[in-house]
A and B are shown apart, each in its own frame.
Chain A
Amino acid sequence: MTIPDQVLAQHGLKPDEYQRILEILGREPTLTELGVFSVMWSEHCSYKSSRVHLKTLPTTGTRVLQGPGENAGAVDIGGGLAAIFKIESHNHPSFIEPYQGAATGVGGIIRDIFTMNARPIALLNSLRFGSLEDPMVRRTMAGVVAGIAGYGNSIGIPTVGGEIGFDESYAGNPLVNVFCLGISKSDEIVRAVASGTGNPVYYVGAKTGRDGIHGATMASAEFDDTSAEKRPAVQVGDPFMEKLLLEACLEVMTTDALVGIQDMGAAGLTSSSCEMGSRGGAGVEIDVSLVPQRESGMTPYEIMLSESQERMLLVAKKGREAEVERVFEKWDLHAVRIGHVTDDGLLRVKNGKDVVAAIPARALAEDAPRYRRPMTEPAYLKEAQRLDLAALGAPAAPRDAFRRLLASPAIASKRWVYRQYDHMVRTNTLVLPGMGTGVVRVKGTNRAIAMSVDCSGRFVYLDPFAGAQLAVAEASRNVACAGALPIGATNNLNFGNPEKPEIMWQLARAVEGMGEACRALDIPITGGNVSLYNETDGRAILPTPVLGVVGVIENADAVLGRTFRSDGDAVVLLGESRDELGGSEYLYAIHRLTRGRPPVLDLEREAALQRLLVDAAASGLIRSAHDCSDGGLAITVAECCFDAALGVEIDIADVATEVTAFGDIATLFGESASRVVVSCDAARVEHLLAEASTAGVPAVRIGTVRGDRIRVSVAGRSVIDESVADAERVWATAIEGYFARARAIA
């Protein structure tokens, strides 16, 4: 039998890849084998385009207990405990079916955490949508948010933070990146390894159906107007089943009867079995006729490729079967023995007596193809980096710009979103959403964990290297603003089609920048996810390498939020303001422009700033800290007033380097990097300035927490004077407004 080219194309395999399959097997593959190769060598599972670049990232450090290559990464948080965390995307499914796509994304990342014997205690998400003016985008966003809520709330893990961005480029290709963090004892981390010849292989969880077949392959292709027909490739989530699996798996792991465990995520039974075998240097033999099935007449091909949710594959110690089975029985789950570990290194799939696939496990996992794809600097770059402010005509009046930015969806309150997420269950949430960086305490210790996910796709678009560095710096700075020492990171690289040299160049440069920034800030990347082919009808998204950074606070009582604390406190700006408007939210929100160069970033200065924040929080010197990013200084001080019922009076120096009409705009709304607005007891401000000077961080007192208005002056001239209540109303109701209007029309 010769496989026709058309069948190869349907499987997303290129002719040279097929040649390689022939060499590995020394024969023609069976159809089941072809399906297995197809999903394992898909971009989604193999990272074939990105792996050579990912290898350059820093992944080790004194606190790293588990780097990339496992279900999730792990870092030492002290006291014999580890934080286990990872971020993962579910972009493609969320476009096709927003609710289930997002829900199953949450389910997938939670499984990655608890399979390592960690109790998941926090979720974050990083979302991107098109313009909220577009009803289809509102429908997508409402579905995604409801899906995340539906799954996370039910399973009882709080969603404590995140970020949402908006840009036309995401209209047909939203991004749904979900981060989960759990806590484990450092010496009890369980890994996804199959070893010990003869050890039984168990299947646990939901039954296998025809849903999600070739989901991984779908996530490795661009979208076009037939994409809606791919709906059957999206799976349906059952958070109740996952809750049972979570509790049962954590209970089984208290017995030490387990060798290894992996969830059946992308590529289902195929990836879990061959990856566990490959990691353990062993083979795995399974009989698909024993797999619990939801539908009749399923072929071995379908069973191996199904992406039905809430399923786990685990390897138990021989002789300890009864202990494992007893725990699952308690939770009304059935652990079904479907095979065993072998010593021949093969993934051998049987259907009753017939062998339907026999492939070296390594060839599917570690030895999958890797490409160094051609790259070219994108043609758009030079032109896009040129910003001619004079060509924009007159700038907006500062007061108008201030109000319009407060109402811009990227800046406006995300209450409409986070109110739908249970963010308090488990009673660990020390900083509520909207009040600063997400922080959860670790019960049984005095410690807390701060987490932030960030990326400005605009900055990355305008300069992938600098933009990725800025993403690392911002996520890490947010963690430091809570008073936490950043200790580890996870990344989610969302890009377009890597077969296009310009996209590949964006990815490669972004990874280079990310690596350099992570080294400078000493935050190793312990794992992550790559999502490519984020294009619809040939148009790529803004390149969006999202960084999730985790930090630890030794004394949970010292945790800082962003809001001002009391009238009379001094307001201090840490960091230096420059005449920079490139890639800013001001240009996008007011002039619909994505142009210029992103802000300059000095990594040494950034590191010094973050050290200062951690020290000043620990000593109680500062009482609030808020990163200065989207919307610049004016928006940042306003956000410090919201939810605090406090006003502020500040006077800031003019940053304009030349006389143009945009001088005040750049001063108020420019997004210079490495800046933080902090407040402290007015009597201690000199002490704070001295500490900053010693640390090498520029610092200046810009004003005082006072009254009930936001009063901003530039070099003594009053430019903004608004009541906090008015400004807060604009900010708080903007996103709700889009959805309320939509309902009124419907």
Chain B
Amino acid sequence: MKFAVVVFPGSNCDHDAHYAAEHVLGQQAELVWHKDTSLRGADVVVLPGGFAHGDYLRTGAIARFSPIMQEVKTFAAAGGPVLGICNGFQVLLEAGLLPGAMLRNRDLRFHCEHVYVRVEHTDTPFTAACEPGRRLRIPIAHGEGNYFADPDVVERLERNRQVIFRYVDATGAVTDAANPNGSVNNIAGLCNERRNVVGLMPHPERACELAVGSADGLVLFESAVKAVAEGAFAAAR
């Protein structure tokens, strides 16, 4: 199967996602330039981390106008699996593929460190290979990861089981101290109502090999392979 990793001007985790999919997982992966108008038959689309268009104006605000985003929307609407990581998550929010917005971290500083997140639900293409409640140790690296949405939106997300990853401490408890950025309800990642589009602030592609500190993130990519193989999530072409 094939991953497409979208490259916006200013993306800087594009090579990392590509490396994780191709070298660590052994799948096909292709970098797709933001001005392209085809996803080249990819089974899974990844919007990588970075600073698309310098994050000028607002994170992800300009990237949503890139030509490739029309294709990504079509792909998502057809049920295809889309993963937005960090800046990619921010782009998904701006593009309206996921609800809510990002504020600056509550201490106004950039944070790069390993955190724990808990997998809340496994019925998405990026958690299908997980057992529910599994704790993952994955790095974050962002200055604007403080997830915010109106209370009724948050309530709906919780009710619909759309919160997929939550910041927890080493024991798995949801605490304020374990929340690195001030996100409402410790939300680290979520999915759309159809459950095929997932965005998260932590970087699973940076946690795919023990040599670089953790291999806990690989399960997101393995999940995608599993989900596509089982046909549960595939873009209706």
Binding site for B on A (CB under 8 A): 146, 149-150, 153-156, 238-241, 243-244, 330-332, 418-430, 432, 441, 443, 556-557
Task: Determine the chain A residues whose CB is within 8 A of the CB of B112 once the complex forms.
Answer: 153, 418-424
Q: In the complex, what distance in Å separates the CA atom of A146 from the CA atom of B111?
A: 11
Query: In the complex, which of the residues A154, A330, A420, A557 contacts B54, with contact meaning CB atoms closer than 8 Å?
Result: A154
Residue on A nearest B214 in the bound complex, by CB: A424
Is B123's beta carbon under 8 Å from chain A?
A: no
Contact string, B45-79, partner A, CB cutoff 8 A, digits 1/0? 00001110111100000000000000000000000
Asked if residues B10 and A424 are in contact (CB atoms below 8 Å), the reply is no
Q: In the complex, what distance in Å separates the CA atom of A154 from the CA atom of B50?
A: 7
Is B109's beta carbon under 8 Å from chain A?
A: yes
Q: In the complex, what distance in Å separates the CA atom of A240 from the CA atom of B15?
A: 17
Asked if residues A154 and B51 are in contact (CB atoms below 8 Å), the reply is yes
Q: How many pairs, one residue from A and one from B, have CB atoms within 8 Å of each other in the complex?
A: 89
Asked if residues B211 and A556 are in contact (CB atoms below 8 Å), the reply is yes
Task: Determine the chain A residues whose CB is within 8 A of the CB of B20 once the complex forms.
Answer: 427
Asked if residues A238 and B54 are in contact (CB atoms below 8 Å), the reply is yes
Asked if residues A240 and B13 are in contact (CB atoms below 8 Å), the reply is no
Asked if residues B212 and A240 are in contact (CB atoms below 8 Å), the reply is no
Task: Determine the chain B residues whose CB is within 8 A of the CB of A330 once the complex forms.
Answer: 33
Asked if residues A243 and B212 are in contact (CB atoms below 8 Å), the reply is no
Residue on A nearest B20 in the bound complex, by CB: A427
Query: In the complex, which of the residues B51, B56, B109, B139 contacts A243, with contact meaning CB atoms closer than 8 Å?
Result: B51
Q: In the complex, what distance in Å separates the CA atom of A562 from the CA atom of B171?
A: 27
Q: In the complex, what distance in Å separates the CA atom of A320 from the CA atom of B19?
A: 33
Q: In the complex, what distance in Å separates the CA atom of A367 from the CA atom of B211?
A: 50
Please report the total number of B residues contacting A with Cβ < 8 Å.
32
Asked if residues A425 and B213 are in contact (CB atoms below 8 Å), the reply is no
5 closest Cβ contacts across the A-B interface? A156-B12, A240-B54, A154-B51, A422-B141, A427-B16
Q: In the complex, what distance in Å separates the CA atom of A421 from the CA atom of B203?
A: 15
11 A/B residue pairs, CB under 8 Å, sorted by A? A153-B51, A156-B13, A240-B54, A240-B55, A331-B9, A422-B110, A422-B141, A424-B112, A428-B212, A429-B213, A432-B213
Asked if residues A427 and B212 are in contact (CB atoms below 8 Å), the reply is yes
Residue on A nearest B17 in the bound complex, by CB: A427
Task: Determine the chain B residues whose CB is within 8 A of the CB of A156 once the complex forms.
Answer: 12-13, 50-51
Asked if residues B206 and A427 are in contact (CB atoms below 8 Å), the reply is yes
Q: In the complex, what distance in Å separates the CA atom of A427 from the CA atom of B205?
A: 8
Residue on B nearest A556 in the bound complex, by CB: B211
Contact string, B198-232, partner A, CB cutoff 8 A, digits 1/0? 00000101101101110000000000000000000
Asked if residues B13 and A154 are in contact (CB atoms below 8 Å), the reply is no
Q: In the complex, what distance in Å separates the CA atom of A419 from the CA atom of B109?
A: 9
Query: In the complex, which of the residues B9, B54, B141 contacts A425, with contact meaning CB atoms closer than 8 Å?
Result: B141
Do A429 and B212 contact each other (CB < 8 Å), given the known contacts A422-B110, A424-B206? yes
| Interchain nearest-CB distance for A446 vs B (Å) | 11
Is B113's beta carbon under 8 Å from chain A?
A: yes
Asked if residues B110 and A430 are in contact (CB atoms below 8 Å), the reply is no
Task: Determine the chain A residues whose CB is within 8 A of the CB of B53 once the complex forms.
Answer: 240
| Interchain nearest-CB distance for B213 vs A (Å) | 6
Do A149 and B9 contact each other (CB < 8 Å), given the known contacts A243-B51, A430-B211? no
Asked if residues B12 and A424 are in contact (CB atoms below 8 Å), the reply is no
